[in-house]
Amino acid sequence: MSINSLDAFKKVCIENNYEPYDLEDSLKKVNDNQVAFISSNETSAANYFQDTQSFSFMIYRTNAFGIIGGMSIYDSILEEAKENCEYYKIITSENGNDYVSYSCSESLYKGKIGFRVEDKMGIIWNFPNE
């Protein structure tokens, strides 16, 4: 809820043991506007898109043994949003994925925060224009 700029995004990533991910050496390079981080144990990744001032986190929903179950970091963040924010609506992203979204009055970011699960991955996406 504290991310409202690239600087704040980097702060959250660094304080949570994420490392810069060099998109220059990756086939995943999207454009020069993207700043990427990956967790030190490679179980999650984070991206900030400077052109839209939006961000995303992709977090594996497995425990240390690779088994889905219990409360993952993604599940904890979703539970916090459900408890402290208000349901907004289902937002369909540009690539057709549906996200359950919330409006968080105490957040510093613009827009709404969306959540969805795909395979073993929990995805959190900021929609600044909602």
pTM for this entry: 0.85
pLDDT for the residue numbered 27: 43
What distance in Å separates the CA atoms of residue 112 and residue 107, rounded to the nearest whole number? 9
For residue 36, tell me if it sits in a domain. yes
What is the count of structural domains for the chain? 1
For residue 105, tell me if it sits in a domain. yes
From the list 72, 82, 68, 67, the residue with the least C-alpha distance to 115 is 82
Residue 117 has pLDDT above 90, yes or no: yes
What distance in Å separates the CA atoms of residue 83 and residue 71, rounded to the nearest whole number? 15
What distance in Å separates the CA atoms of residue 89 and residue 25, rounded to the nearest whole number? 38
- How far from 23 is each of 16, 30, 40, CA to CA, in Å? 20, 8, 16
Average pLDDT rounded to a whole number, residues 14-42? 76
Average pLDDT rounded to a whole number, residues 9-38? 78
Q: What is the DSSP letter of 119?
A: T
pLDDT for the residue numbered 121: 92
The answer to whether 75 touches 61, Cβ cutoff 8 Å, is yes
For residue 1, tell me if it sits in a domain. no
Each residue of 98-110: pLDDT tens digit? 999 999 988 888 8
- Domain of 43 in residue numbering reads as 6-127
Each residue of 38-92: pLDDT tens digit? 988 888 999 999 988 899 999 988 766 666 666 788 999 999 999 999 999 999 9
For residue 95, tell me if it sits in a domain. yes
For residue 123, tell me if it sits in a domain. yes
Q: What is the DSSP letter of 71?
A: -
